[in-house]
């Protein structure tokens, strides 16, 4: 249920701060994305890094999604949660030998390989285990995602993927790797992308590189175009889910694919962000010389995005009527850091100790990025 539909007295009886997950919205979002993808024959992998809460993974797995992982632990978690190994991919620029061995033993669908050196190591370890590793080569396409620079990944200056200048060499190394089987190509240009033109530019690059490999006699079975679809942080209730039809349409229209070529996606944020809300209590109010502060019992330890990326999250007072008098507050947490601030000059109904504050659109990169800094409590959850 939407956080505003829950009984305020019930919410006030719960220990704060906690994450509330709207499981109904999550299910609807998962269904909408899956339906739009299925219609076009696209394959969907959920990027675990956005949220690996058990209840959320259970639901995503039950809807038939694959898993996109970036650590050995995420690979193991996906397997434990019932994702079939044949639908698990493993990306990341720094896979350790131990992680590679785990993924080889589990016979996952594919490694998304990010450098020539990594390719050679996977070949060597697969040889030692007497298995063949399926891989997709991650290409850095040099496409600007026009998003926050911390979450842009597809530019020449970023550490991700094999740069264009190395592809000739990568292709020849691949031919010499006996224990590696090239399934396809992998791309991911960034996160929180709301301009569909970015994905159109990505398609152009994917087509170019696919042709480049095919001209050299290499069969490309899988085109993995990554994730990155953004959500509406400003208006979570008006836009509770992204326009999946419009998103997949771009790839349907602009990606050139042969009938036997598969298109894979790795969505994280778009699937889970809107279903999560961080609920916190006002501990204190304070009027400084220039500012009014609302001091919450949640901080950057529960939701780091505002402190790390200056990210906007809508802040609301729960259980308030439209008639209340408004005031501008800097909404801050209890952590001993000046960056521990959820929003500056936020207009809210006048609030007092004990009031509940909702920080919306916190289902992606929220609890997974939480820390115990200041020896904070473990995260609490409420589902419903």
Cα Rg, the chain, nearest whole Å: 22
Comparing CB distances to ligand LLP, the nearer of 17 and 363 is 363
**Minimum Å distance from CB 228 to ligand LLP?**
4
By beta-carbon proximity to ligand LLP, the closer residue of 18 and 233 is 233
**Between residues 68 and 330, which has the closer beta carbon with respect to ligand LLP?**
68
Please give the full DSSP string across 119-182, using - where no structure is assigned: HHHHHHHHHHHT--EEEEEEB-------S-GGGB-SSTTSSSSB-GGGHHHHHHHHHH-TTEEE
Min dist. Cβ of residue 154 to ligand LLP (A): 10
Calculate the alpha carbon distances from 74 to 30, 53, 84, 301, 375 in Å. 20, 11, 13, 22, 25
Nearer to ligand LLP, 51 or 292 (CB): 51
**Least distance to ligand LLP, CB of residue 349, Å:** 28
Residue 20 or 49 having the CB closest to ligand LLP: 49
Distance CA 201, CA 144 (A): 9
Residue 213: its H or E element = helix 196-215
Cβ 235 to ligand LLP, closest distance in Å? 18
Minimum Å gap between C-beta 242 and ligand LLP is: 10
- Secondary structure element (H or E) that encloses residue 227, with its range: none
Query: Which residue's structure tokens are 């909702």?
Result: 358
Q: Hey, what are 249's tokens?
A: 């349409």
Residues that bind ligand LLP (CB under 6 A): 47, 49-50, 68, 91, 151, 153, 188, 191-192, 226-229, 266-270, 305, 309, 364-365
Query: Which candidate, 189, 221, 216, places its Cα nearest to that of 205?
Result: 189
Angle (deg, nearest 10), helices 97-105 and 72-80: 30
Is 48 strand, coil or helix? helix
The nearest distance, CB 273 to ligand LLP, in angstroms, is: 8
Of residues 22 and 68, the one with the C-beta less far from ligand LLP: 68
Q: Which is nearer to ligand LLP, 275 or 292 (CB)?
A: 275
Instruction: Kindly state the smallest distance separating residue 260's Cβ from ligand LLP, in Å.
Output: 24
- Segments of 315-365 assigned E as strands: 315-317, 326-332, 341-349, 356-359
């Amino acid at each position: 249920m939407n956080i505003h539909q829950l009984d305020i007295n019930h919410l006030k009886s719960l220990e704060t701060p906690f994450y509330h997950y709207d499981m109904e919205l999550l299910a609807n979002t998962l269904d909408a994305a899956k339906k739009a993808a299925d219609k076009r024959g696209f394959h969907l992998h959920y990027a675990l890094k956005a949220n690996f809460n058990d209840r959320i993974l259970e639901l995503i797995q039950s809807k038939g999604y694959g898993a996109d992982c970036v650590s050995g632990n995420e690979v193991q978690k996906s397997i434990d949660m019932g994702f079939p190994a044949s639908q698990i991919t493993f990306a990341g620029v720094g896979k350790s030998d131990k992680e590679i061995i785990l993924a080889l033993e589990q016979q996952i669908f594919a490694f998304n390989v990010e450098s020539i050196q990594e390719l050679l190591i996977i070949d060597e370890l697969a040889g030692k285990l007497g298995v063949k590793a399926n891989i997709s080569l991650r290409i850095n396409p040099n496409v600007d995602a026009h998003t926050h620079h911390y979450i842009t990944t597809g530019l020449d200056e970023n550490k991700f993927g094999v740069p264009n200048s190395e592809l000739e060499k990568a292709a020849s190394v691949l031919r010499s790797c006996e224990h590696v089987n090239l399934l396809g190509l992998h791309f991911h240009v960034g996160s929180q992308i709301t301009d569909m033109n970015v994905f159109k530019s990505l398609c152009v690059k994917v087509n170019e590189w696919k042709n480049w490999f095919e001209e050299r006699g290499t069969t490309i079975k899988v085109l993995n175009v990554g994730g990155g679809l953004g959500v509406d942080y400003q208006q979570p209730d008006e836009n509770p889910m992204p326009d999946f039809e419009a998103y997949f349409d771009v790839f349907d229209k602009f990606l050139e694919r042969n009938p036997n070529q598969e298109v894979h996606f790795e969505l994280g944020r778009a699937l889970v962000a809107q279903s999560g809300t961080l609920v916190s209590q006002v501990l204190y109010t304070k009027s400084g010389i220039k500012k009014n502060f609302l001091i919450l019992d949640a901080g950057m330890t529960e939701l780091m995005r505002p402190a790390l990326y200056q990210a906007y999250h809508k802040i609301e007072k729960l259980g308030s009527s439209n008639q209340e008098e408004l005031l501008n507050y800097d909404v801050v947490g209890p952590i001993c850091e000046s960056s521990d601030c959820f929003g500056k000059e936020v207009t809210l109904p006048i609030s007092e100790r004990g009031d509940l504050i909702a920080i919306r659109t916190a289902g992606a990169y929220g609890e997974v990025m939480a820390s115990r800094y200041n020896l904070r409590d473990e995260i609490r959850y409420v589902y419903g």
